[in-house]
Structure 1
Amino acid sequence: MISALNRLADLVEKQLVPEQTATELDVAALAKAAGTTEYHLRRMFSSLAGMPLSEYVRRRRMTVAAADVVRGQDDLLSIAVRHGYGSTEAFGRAFRAVHGAGPGEVRRDGGPLRTQPQIRFRLTVEGSIPMDTRIADRPAFRLVGHATRVPLIHHGINPHIQRFVAALPAEVHARLKALSGTEPAGLLQVSDDVDQDAAEGTELTYLHGVAVAAGTPAPDDLDAIEVPAGRWAVFRTAGPFPQTLQQAWAATATEWFPSNPWRLRPCPSIVAILERADDFSTATCELWLPVEPA
């Protein structure tokens, strides 16, 4: 996987060469050659790089373009076209989003510039703390509960989810618990419709609910997500919430997946809250990630 990610980073650099700018980045072909899927490769890149592939490509392209802008040998339209943009307006918006200033300002003042170095992935031997993991083979089931659209936040508490759950009356939680009928057990935090290239701030579907057997009818006032049969890697965590859970999520990408013959498959990710403090400062959780043999 590390070598595949580095080949992907090399492909990005080749695409930045002016004569290759219009060439589409063929992630699917690279994933196939590496014996994995585009979905898994993109998700691993995002997890390890801290940004989705599309954002990395944009930052690298604007880093290279900034050198042309500062050099001042060509007009801005020529630079825009060279880097794959059809107009100076479109180029200017992308440039400003990365550098915080337009190309005209940077040409005049020499900055500010925010450089994105080329990413290289290296294997670091960690593994000193064993991960409490099991593989669960589950038939199809349904997730039922209350759903909303929220922005993706990688670190810390998501205030949008926090407000959504806090607004649900106590009787709603009791009613959902009574509906729970299969694993994952208990009240669940479900993330669905997460794009494989999702940047922070991208919207996803969040469902606060429970799992029931396939075919179980959901009350009319509840939302439902159908989950196909498949295998799941289940990681148990205990400690400060949500920090411990988020650290475990990151460790699946840096330690667990590179060390085990599994890869992610498209499906919702699920967090089961098994025990928690009254103020939710600590919790014991299970993180359910959908997997398939690599």
Structure 2
Amino acid sequence: MDWVKQLNESINYIEENLAGEISYEAISKIAGCSIYNFQRMFSYIADKPLSEYIRNRRLTMAAFDLLNSTERIIDISLKYGYESQDSFTRAFKNFHGVLPSSVRNETVQLKSCPKRSFQITIKGENHMNYQIEQWPAFRVMGISQKMKTSTAFEMVPKVWENAWKDGTMNRFIEKFPDYRPAGFLGIAQGGQWGESEEMEYIIAVTNYVDVPSCEHVPALEGMKEFAYPEATWAIFEANGELPEAIQKVYKQFYGEWLPNSGYELADLPVIECYMQDNHQEVWIAVIKK
């Protein structure tokens, strides 16, 4: 399926279920990627988190209901996923700047968050340095933490912080195989359709590449080993200050490169490689359409 079409069908699903339950499982299935990657892609292209977009769309529609219907405020609250009228009132005031009751009793100014749609763009403002490589099977060793996909954006930085504090990163440095994918690796694994509520985030280094000249480095004590198959990878340079350098690559990849490339996403995790002197790479597995 065309990538842009998948994105728009995901948005259509959200739109059809604003007054009901929005399933991350369904979004993952429609988009054909993990919900974590979909959330990340959406935030880079739309310049706001997916959860904020959904909340703002619901509050936009709630304002229309207040203006155009006689439904009770409590019923509108429940309709758009709020457990109480108080929580709905707080969210409504934060977004619109006025109380829900004021909409019916006064002339007030309201905000509107329009429905998003995606289309192919070719801006040509910034070039991307990348290469397509058929890379052999490889293994990484490291630590992992399972987390809810809904809280992943808050949890991932904490995993890195703890890894520096508890000495994990120093252990990597002491026994650092010079294999690719290179550097410290950040890998978001799982969260696909069928397991969209939970994902696993891995901090690791590559300890084996399936080529004759490579020696397997056993996983350090207390660490796990993860294996990935031979695949085609689009490898993008992401040099510069973090997190802006990585965010820029994702924004261009999802918004410009992927729709025009003749490739689609493969069912493998995205790998971020952090090296020295603000040198980073993003490895994204792809398959030819």
Q: Normalising by structure 1, report the TM-score.
A: 0.68
Q: Percent identity?
A: 22
- Cα distance in 1 for residues equivalent to 2:207 and 2:91: 41
- The answer to whether the 8 Å contact 1:99/1:112 transfers is no
Q: Does 1:106 align with 2:103?
A: no
SS of aligned partner of 1:212 = strand
Task: Determine the structure 2 residue equivalent to 1:192.
Answer: 188
Task: Determine the structure 2 residue equivalent to 1:252.
Answer: 253
Task: Determine the structure 1 residue equivalent to 2:56.
Answer: 59
Residue 273 and residue 4 in structure 1: after superposition, are their counterparts in 2 closer, same or farther (change >3 A)?
closer
User: How is 1:1-294 mapped onto 2 (pairs within 5 angstroms)?
Assistant: 1-16=3-18, 37=32, 39=34, 42=38, 44-51=41-48, 56-69=53-66, 73-80=70-77, 83=79, 89=83, 93=87, 96-97=90-91, 100=94, 106-110=99-103, 115-148=112-145, 152-153=152-153, 158=157, 161-162=160-161, 164-165=163-164, 167-168=166-167, 171-177=170-176, 180=177, 182-185=179-182, 187-193=183-189, 195=191, 205-213=201-209, 217-276=218-277, 283-294=278-289
- The answer to whether the 8 Å contact 1:99/1:114 transfers is no
Shift of 1:101: 8.2
**What is the CA RMSD across the aligned residues, in angstroms?**
4.2
Residue 113 and residue 237 in structure 1: after superposition, are their counterparts in 2 closer, same or farther (change >3 A)?
same
SS of aligned partner of 2:131 = strand
Tell me which of the two structures has the higher relative contact order, counting C-alpha pairs closer than 8 angstroms and 6 or more residues apart: 2
Shift of 1:55: 5.2
What amino acid maps onto 1:184 in structure 2? P
Task: Determine the structure 2 residue equivalent to 1:279.
Answer: none
SS of aligned partner of 2:175 = helix
- Cα distance in 2 for residues equivalent to 1:84 and 1:275: 47
- Cα distance in 2 for residues equivalent to 1:100 and 1:128: 36
SS of aligned partner of 2:59 = helix
Q: Structure 1 unaligned segments of length 5 or more: list them.
A: 32-36, 277-282
- The answer to whether the 8 Å contact 1:152/1:204 transfers is no
Q: Normalising by structure 2, report the TM-score.
A: 0.69
Shift of 1:124: 3.3
Deviates more, 1:220-229 or 1:166-175: 166-175
Task: Determine the structure 2 residue equivalent to 1:34.
Answer: none
Q: Structure 2 unaligned segments of length 5 or more: list them.
A: 211-215
Superposed CA deviations along residues 98-149 of structure 1, whole A, max 9, x for unmatched, are 65489xx823344896642221334432234332111222233221024456
